[in-house]
Structure 1
Amino acid sequence: MEERFILFYTLAYLAEVIGTISGFGSSILFVPIASLFFDFEKVLGITALFHIFSNLSKIAFFKKGINKEIVLKLGIPAIVFVTIGAVMSKFVAQKKLELIMSISLFIIAIFLIIYSKKQIKTTTRNLITGGVLSGFFAGLIGTGGAIRGLTLSAFHLEKNIFIASSALIDLGVDSSRTIVYYLNGYMSKTFLITLPFLVAVSIAGTWTGKKILSKISQKVFQNIVLGVVILTSAVYIFNYLK
């Protein structure tokens, strides 16, 4: 195996560990990592594939935490709008959208930290709004986990419910956009070589993340979620301005 692929899978493993601990998946870290090795269209394709394996691993490890009401009310809008976003990915300038989304997420995360004692009610309207936005951006620029993470974080969900419900929603989102990306020609036959490694990385990373998460309090978990959103948003903004 080429050295660059060894590095890629190592970084993917770290992204999966951090994605599990932070609660909303690895794509927010995996997308910029994959961008170092592949062009943008291939990044979308390989991210969707990797995230399917990642979500299946989380569902297996955290299945007792699945909340059906959250999954349905947030998940169905996300699955519908990820398809719209994926179709539009061929026609929209992603860089400016990434900047706008990153600035928005940065501000919202700071707000949630300052007002950490405030809890947004898990109303049908709030869940649907979070699903629409996270699904649309997941299809359009490859990652909507941060939006869903902020939505679930604002509800102050217990960490196992957060991770399990988010993973099940994400599985539907990623399955939908994978089909569209394939039809768009974002996936080549060379991707088949990466599949066994991506499966192994997703299982190992999720298992490691769960072990670490068991030693973390709910308050620390909440701060990690918001901290990761702030950090990754800041990196996106910095890279754009540079």
Structure 2
Amino acid sequence: MVLALVAEIVGTIGGFGSSVFFVPIANIYLDFYSVLGLTALFHLSSNLSKIFLFKKGIDKFLLLYIGLPAVVFVILGGYLSNLFKGKYLEILLGIFLILLSFLFLIKKKLVIKAGKKETLIGGSLSGFTAGLLGTGGAIRGLTMAAFNLEKSVFIATSAFIDFMVDFSRTFVYYQNGYIHNHDLKYVPFLFAIGLVGTIIGKRILKYIPQNKFKQISLLLILIIGIVTLLNSFLS
């Protein structure tokens, strides 16, 4: 639970979302499918907290061009996840996190063009990876960065899109059997952690430049990706 709180705080400040940290950490203790189910439930509360705490407007254009394709493709990714063994998905997650962190660390000023086509592609990819691997916030964040949104608008819009994505994949994961009755005991704690972590993250965000903290977050993602990959081969 402490690690979940840390994941929420770091995810809020770094702008990547808590799932990029929560999924690989939780996977150390639970099977991959249970982690996918818990992540969807955890994110529902986490994103509601962000929407409430950063309620300074939501960008309707991004909500449409990123949110809708993300919802469609998270459903597709969620169903496809049932076709692969958990071990293979762990390997994919490890590779994804390593490549993603390297991309951001090397291309520090990487920005996707702020066009409708690029936005639709970014939304689709973020939704698909969220459904298949449990995390897609970094791709969505990269796509949204092209629009130079005010920080609170960025977080609120991203959280609203993420809420739509999580709401959709929760039904898919439940149908796939990823949400188990014995795991539901964690849900009340995760809801509380989502709220508390977002509040702490918001306060810290006032004192730490986001760009500097993002570099630390990327290094953590790289380390977690390597650990996830090694763990998948050793288990």
* TM-score interval (norm. to shorter): 0.7 to 0.9
Q: How far apart, CA to CA, are the structure 1 residues paired with 2:97 and 2:148? A: 17
Q: Which residue of 1 aligns with 2:132?
A: 140
Contact 2:22 2:39 in 1 (8 A): yes
Q: Which residue of 2 aligns with 1:27?
A: 19
> Mean alpha-carbon deviation: is it higher for 104-113 or for 181-190?
104-113
Contact 1:119 1:155 in 2 (8 A): no
The one-letter amino acid paired with 2:140 is: R
Q: Which residue of 2 aligns with 1:6?
A: none
Q: Which residue of 1 aligns with 2:46?
A: 54
Runs of 5+ unmatched residues, structure 2: none
Give 1:72 shift: 1.5
State how 1:80-159 maps to structure 2 within 5 Å.
80-93=72-85, 95-96=87-88, 99=91, 103=95, 106-107=98-99, 109-117=101-109, 119-153=111-145, 157-159=149-151
> Mean alpha-carbon deviation: is it higher for 171-180 or for 21-30?
21-30
Aligned-residue identity in percent: 50
Contact 2:125 2:139 in 1 (8 A): yes
Q: 195, 205, 213: which is aligned to 2:205? A: 213
State how 1:193-208 maps to structure 2 within 5 Å.
193-208=185-200
Runs of 5+ unmatched residues, structure 1: 1-8
Contact 1:23 1:162 in 2 (8 A): no
Contact 1:65 1:162 in 2 (8 A): no
The one-letter amino acid paired with 1:44 is: L
- In structure 2, the CA distance between the partners of 1:121 and 1:42, relative to structure 1 (3 Å rule), is same
Structure 1-normalised TM-score? 0.83
Give 1:141 shift: 1.7
Give 1:93 shift: 4.1
> Mean alpha-carbon deviation: is it higher for 171-180 or for 57-66?
57-66
Q: How far apart, CA to CA, are the structure 2 residues paired with 1:100 and 1:38? A: 17
In the alignment, is residue 161 of structure 1 matched against residue 153 of structure 2? yes
- In structure 2, the CA distance between the partners of 1:205 and 1:169, relative to structure 1 (3 Å rule), is same
Q: 49, 55, 62: which is aligned to 1:70? A: 62
Deviations 1:124-152 (A, max 9, x none): 11111111111111111211223223333
- SS state of the match for residue 186, structure 1? coil
Q: What is the total number of aligned residue pairs between the two structures? A: 234
The one-letter amino acid paired with 1:203 is: L
Deviations 1:162-204 (A, max 9, x none): 3222111110111111001111122223344222211111111
Contact 1:149 1:225 in 2 (8 A): no
Q: Which residue of 1 aligns with 2:173?
A: 181
Give 1:91 shift: 0.5
Structure 2-normalised TM-score? 0.85
